[in-house]
Amino acid sequence: MPAIEAKKLSFTYAGTEKPSMEDINFSVEKGEFVILTGPSGCGKTTLCRCLNALIPNFYSGELTGELIVDGINVDGRSTAELATHVGFVFQNPENQLFSLSVERDVAFGLENLGVPKEEAIERVRWAMEATGILDLRNKAPYELSGGQQQRAAIAGVLAMRPSVLVLDEPTSFLDPKSAEEIVEIIAKLNHELQLTTLLVEHRLDVVSRYANRVIVMDNGKIALDGPPREVYNDQARLIGIGLPKVTMLFHLLRIDGFGVTNPITVEEAAADLRRLLAQ
Amino acid sequence: MISIENVSFHYTGGPDVLKNVNLEIKDGEFVAIMGENGAGKTTLVKMFNGLLKPTEGAVLVDGVNTREKSVAQLSRDVGLIFQNPDHQLFAETVAEELAFSLRNFGFKEDTIQRRVTSLLTTLDLNRYEKSSPFVLSGGERKRVALAAVLAWDPKHVVMDEPTIGQDYLQKDHLRNFIVQITSQGKAVVIVTHDVEFVAECRPRVVLLSRGKIIADGPAAEILTNPQAVKQASLVMPQIASLMNDLKDLNPPPNIIDAYAAKGFFSGKLKAKVEARAPTQRR
Amino acid sequence: MSLRFVEGFKFTRMDSPIHRLDPRSKFILTLGFFVTSLMFTNIIVLLVIFLAQVPGIILAKSPSRWLRSLRGGLFLFVFIFVMNLIFGTPIVTSLAFAIRFLAIMSAFSFFFMTTSADDLGLALEQIHVPYSISFTFTTAVRLVPTMAVDAQTVVDAQRSRGLELDKGNFMKRIRNYIPILIPLIISAIRRSVELAEALESRAFGATEKRTAIVTLRMRVADYLVILATFVGVGLALYVYFKVPLPNLVIPIQIPRLF
């Protein structure tokens, strides 16, 4: 059974004529790390908000098609119901921290779910350890850096033990170093816990190395879907997404007539170049 | 010219946010101020139009000390575009939004109409002339905020984190736009931590860390310096990282963009091909 | 002036015996000061009540902040004094009323200065106030500094577009606040929507029976404080009914204006 399955999923925001997302069909297996990307307005934000029913519960409009997450048909479900199946991490760390201490913030979801105190404390400790913030447990969220706040948000979602993790541009407000750190943690959680991960991102240079699959959306539809090395092709370039610079470099070398590969990380590119120059 | 002379700054009762900063930005220069969150970047640029006055030292804009002019007077010459357009937008229509500052600065009504129309065209906002700014998408609102500040044609333009939330194409437009206005003789200062964007624009880079300037020079030099980059919580642009990994191939120093890198590798690969099978042309 | 007044009600984390007290016992203490202040119009008793708070303030290591908040309340102090005089109240009684105001303000300031919003929320929950209310309260308190930063940013952004808030006649100045209020309100609305989405995503409202991983426990010190409050109020009642109080009169006649 796939972790996420979408069939002919479409959504039109109330008051608009054109669907923001049209005829979306895809399925994601358990444990996959999927990047969802595309130019502004392509529908990626719309799509990820369907996964935990924020659409249509928070946004009025017409939603058609079928979406099954963790074996549950999201139709008619509330977001609160789905919280133990789909964890959602938002872009702005400021607006997803609710308490005056990190520990209580991470426990927030569990408290809402009525999880018994002893079990909650243990799950909170586990989640904070998994995200590397155990030493920050007594600090107030406003005392933390952006990167630490996002880690606390991930821990808070993780504590509810969802089987799918959706993150909507979590690195937007972070500096490059914090962005890399947070993506490493997300990848670690995906790998160690087999936590199906859907990451909406523009910064493909940072995240590509961890993903096994990239879905590119354009104009409300899925344009490309496959492993990063396959998807980062001429069509992707035309759609206008920010491919890793080393990928761009090799594209330029290809134009110059050198039959080269399609690396997505610096290490791959360096190895490929050495090989080419040694032949 | 914007001149920062031995400036230190702290909020009342707080620690030093800026310490002995010295900086000179000439007309027509394109400067990127980079550094970790909390390094003092936004505090520094708020001094350019007098929103903040230094606790020690002086900031001079075109020779005039910012302590001697009001924020409104200084803003006439230094346009500051804030990170979040929602902190600015309030008017009923986009056209009104653009006219707002022009009215504040006392422009004549016919000049205002002319400028608004021209700006709507330049920034591709014509179809939104009568729309409410609040119904536009995030990227479009950022354009309106940009237009609203350019409306009065300030001599210098400062942008705080202009690339956050922008996709690749939007950043490309922004880059071209900056090139355009610097060619008009305006100084452009951007506060950013988008290393790849800076690598493509190749401005002068000023690195700020914990209130002090730790590096100041061309992007190609600064972004290829591992210590400086690390201290400012940045990462090297991918191409620079690549060249660093391939140091033993003796690439030219300070390559940070794909085109220059391609030039180098293409050359080497062509040389190999020719060495192996020299052309037999007579 | 107004900002200093508010500062006296802002919580700062500190390790003091008062900060460690349960909010419930502290609130009973504050109520004790409040009730006894209302009982009396005699200036000597009111001064005693007012000064009785000082040891607590010192124990809470917050004397300077307390003084600053008093300075913020100075305007109202003078206002109460003068208004009473104008309407014919004798000088000493007018002063007593002003001191009573100060005593009450200071008691509440003392409470809020030493109690974090989170603990307050917990206390409300534990006395069975509906969760939605206590949560709204703590969130509102938590958002005040965030919105203050937002407000400053909006003011900065609009001033950078030439808006001058200190110029023009009265009507113009009021209209100048529109470019400040609208972005603030819109920002607040956007923030609320984002918060609501995040809340739902953390299963807010999923069950009626919410658990709490931290619970407030009353300790010996708390019971002592409650006991002391009852003794204090009892003493006040005794004085009120049984003890004849010296009446201070200053024989100056203020001409009646009304």
- In tens, the pLDDT along A199-249 reads 999 889 999 999 999 999 999 999 999 999 999 999 998 998 999 999 999
Distance from CA of B204 to the nearest CA of C (A): 25
**Closest by Cβ to B104, choosing from C163, C178, C183:** C163
- In tens, the pLDDT along C128-174 reads 888 888 888 888 878 887 888 899 999 999 999 999 988 888 888 88
pTM given for the model: 0.87
Show which of residues 128-187 on chain B sit within 8 Å of chain C, judged by CB atoms.
134, 148-149, 152
Distance from CA of A140 to the nearest CA of C (A): 10
Find which of A45, A103, A111 to mutate to test the C interface (most C CBs within 10 Å of its CB). Answer: A111
3-state SS of chain B?
CEEEEEEEEECCCCCEEEEEEEEEECCCCEEEEEECCCCCHHHHHCCCCCCCCCCEEEEEECCEEHHHCCHHHHHCCEEEECCCHHHCCCCCCHHHHHHHHHHHCCCCHHHHHHHHHHHHHHCCCHHHCCCCHHHCCHHHHHHHHHHHHHCCCCCEEEEECCCCCCCHHHHHHHHHHHHHHHHCCCEEEEECCCHHHHHHHCCEEEEEECCEEEEEEEHHHHCCCHHHHHHCCCCCCHHHHHHHHCHHHCCCCCCCCHHHHHHHHHHHHHHHHHHHCCCCCC
Place of tokens 């124990």: C59
Chains that touch C (3 or more CB pairs under 8 A): A, B
Mean pLDDT of C184-201: 92
If you measure CA to CA, which chain C residue comes closest to A106?
A: C202
Question: DSSP letter string over C58-74?
Answer: HHTT-HHHHHHHHHHTH
- In tens, the pLDDT along C50-76 reads 998 888 888 888 888 888 888 888 888
Contacts of B104 in chain C (CB under 8 A): 161-164
Among candidate residues C16, A186, A246, C205, the one with its CA nearest the CA of residue B236: A246
Q: Check pLDDT > 60 for residue C210.
A: yes
**Closest by Cβ to B258, choosing from A39, A169, A245:** A245
Find which of C146, C153, C156, C161 to mutate to test the B interface (most B CBs within 10 Å of its CB). Answer: C161
pLDDT of residue B281: 53
Show which of residues 149-168 on chain C sit within 8 Å of chain B, judged by CB atoms.
150, 153-154, 156-164
Q: Is B70 on the interface with C (CB under 8 A)?
A: yes
What does each of the 282 residues of chain B score in pLDDT, given as a tens digit? Answer: 999 999 999 988 789 999 999 999 999 999 999 998 888 899 999 999 999 999 999 999 999 999 999 999 999 999 999 999 999 999 999 999 999 999 999 999 999 999 999 989 888 888 888 888 888 888 888 889 999 999 999 999 999 999 988 888 889 989 999 999 999 999 999 999 899 999 999 999 999 999 999 999 999 999 999 999 999 889 999 999 999 999 888 888 889 989 999 989 888 888 887 877 665 554
Could you tell me the two tokens for A126?
């586990």
Q: pLDDT-based confidence at C4, cuts 50/70/90?
A: low
pLDDT of residue B41: 93
